Amino acid sequence: MIEQEKKSYSKLVEDRTYFFIEILIVFIVTIFFLIPSFLVEFFIDNNSIFFAPLFFSTKALGILFGIPVSLLIVQKLGKFSTESPRFQSKVNLWIGHLKLFKISKSNVKFQLLFGLLLLFLIFIPVDFITSLLIPEVLDYQAVMLTSDPKGNYFLEDFQIFIISAIIIHISVAIIEESIARGLIAKRGAENLPIISAVLISSIYFGLGHFTYLLNPLSSNYPIWFPFIWFVETFGIGVILALFIIKKKWIFPVIFAHALNNIISAFSIWYCLQGFEFFYLTIFMYVPLLVISIILLVINFKRIKESIKTGFSMLGNISKDERKPKSLDVLITIMLDFVFACLIFLVGILII
């Protein structure tokens, strides 16, 4: 029995190690496609109004081209080991990734609908509730974002701000969704139990927002503020990862993510002008929440089925043939957390 458990835990580590190596190769190859964004940092004055839009847009293009090329190289390398049949899959990795971006006449209205549902039923209510219960979080986010030269657009007049915000947050959504969901969640689900793929991608996504704890200015605020940002993004990450794994569509999550970031950016800009959150609630969030309620009522049956499907997908861990019978769930979660942190650290250093 003990020997069987050792083999089970060894298999858990082995699977995640192979997955980590694949992600590492993708990150290393993708860095060459990010050279234009590095050049922007080198040649453009970081106080220029063009700096942040150029940096994020060139980075988004680098990610869009870099990930599929990287996956092609991964496939050409032979999936690392002749002793691991799962890594000899006949699935065309780079084409599988590109198919996430496919929009056809038959599904465009459904992709747009799901994008709106994700925006109005997930992103906006979560942001509103967080800001309503802890209004200081908006101030914290404003200080964290403007402490970086890439956040200087918050300090510009409205016209420059809104143009910059649209370019930046569409680019940021493409970057984050392509990596966290399009790469980590999708490839994770093809190599690991779904719940592990969801956890690793969501922890990775949450850690990207938790690192503001390291900003010296963060010491001026309650230490749990970064944890709130982590929990919020982790929870949203779980839903988006399940959506990508189930639907194999990335446009809805990019669409919802980008629009939400633009709305959040406007909230921060608005508060930086000295307005209180109460007025923001009346003039912006109330109309948005009314739309959320209408969409909830109209699509209640579809939403109910989606929730059932999500729980069913997470529950499949007990039926997954790759799960050893003697699996200790706690150890699996700990391993997923460790490997998510490793992937995040490598991503921070390389990308």
| C-alpha–C-alpha distance, residues 326 and 1, integer Å | 9
Confidence of residue 321 (pLDDT cuts 50, 70, 90): very low
pLDDT at position 135 is 82
pLDDT at position 317 is 54
> Quick one: DSSP state of residue 46?
T
First and final C-alpha spacing in the chain: 43
Tens digit of each residue's pLDDT (9 = 90 or more) over 185-205: 999 999 999 999 999 999 999
Average pLDDT of the segment spanning 101-111:
95
Tens digit of each residue's pLDDT (9 = 90 or more) over 205-218: 999 989 888 899 99
| C-alpha–C-alpha distance, residues 275 and 24, integer Å | 45
Greatest pairwise CA separation for the chain in angstroms: 68
| C-alpha–C-alpha distance, residues 124 and 127, integer Å | 5
Is-contact 201 241, C-beta < 8 A? yes
Confidence of residue 331 (pLDDT cuts 50, 70, 90): confident
| C-alpha–C-alpha distance, residues 241 and 204, integer Å | 11
pLDDT higher than threshold 90 for residue 340: yes
Token reading at 150: 């890439």
Is-contact 17 340, C-beta < 8 A? no
Confidence of residue 319 (pLDDT cuts 50, 70, 90): very low
pLDDT higher than threshold 80 for residue 86: no
pLDDT at position 198 is 96
> Quick one: DSSP state of residue 122?
I
User: pLDDT exceeding 90 applies to what percent of the chain?
Assistant: 68
Confidence of residue 5 (pLDDT cuts 50, 70, 90): low
pLDDT higher than threshold 80 for residue 55: yes
pTM of the model: 0.92
pLDDT at position 114 is 96
Contacts of 155 (CB under 8 A, 6+ apart): 146, 272
Is-contact 335 13, C-beta < 8 A? yes
Residue closest to 314 by CA, chosen among 230, 253, 245: 245
For residue 14, the tally of other CB atoms under 10 A from its CB is: 13
Confidence of residue 327 (pLDDT cuts 50, 70, 90): low
| C-alpha–C-alpha distance, residues 187 and 83, integer Å | 19
Which of 96-105, 157-166, 326-335 is least confident? 326-335
Residue closest to 259 by CA, chosen among 149, 147, 343, 165: 165
User: pLDDT exceeding 70 applies to what percent of the chain?
Assistant: 90
Residue carrying structure tokens 């609908």? 113
Which of 80-84, 173-177, 241-245, 311-315 is least confident? 80-84
pLDDT at position 281 is 76
| C-alpha–C-alpha distance, residues 238 and 5, integer Å | 29
Tens digit of each residue's pLDDT (9 = 90 or more) over 236-256: 999 999 999 999 999 999 999
pLDDT at position 82 is 43
| C-alpha–C-alpha distance, residues 89 and 75, integer Å | 9
Which of 56-65, 88-97, 161-170, 329-338 is least confident? 88-97
pLDDT higher than threshold 50 for residue 226: yes
pLDDT at position 2 is 61
Token reading at 302: 């579809």
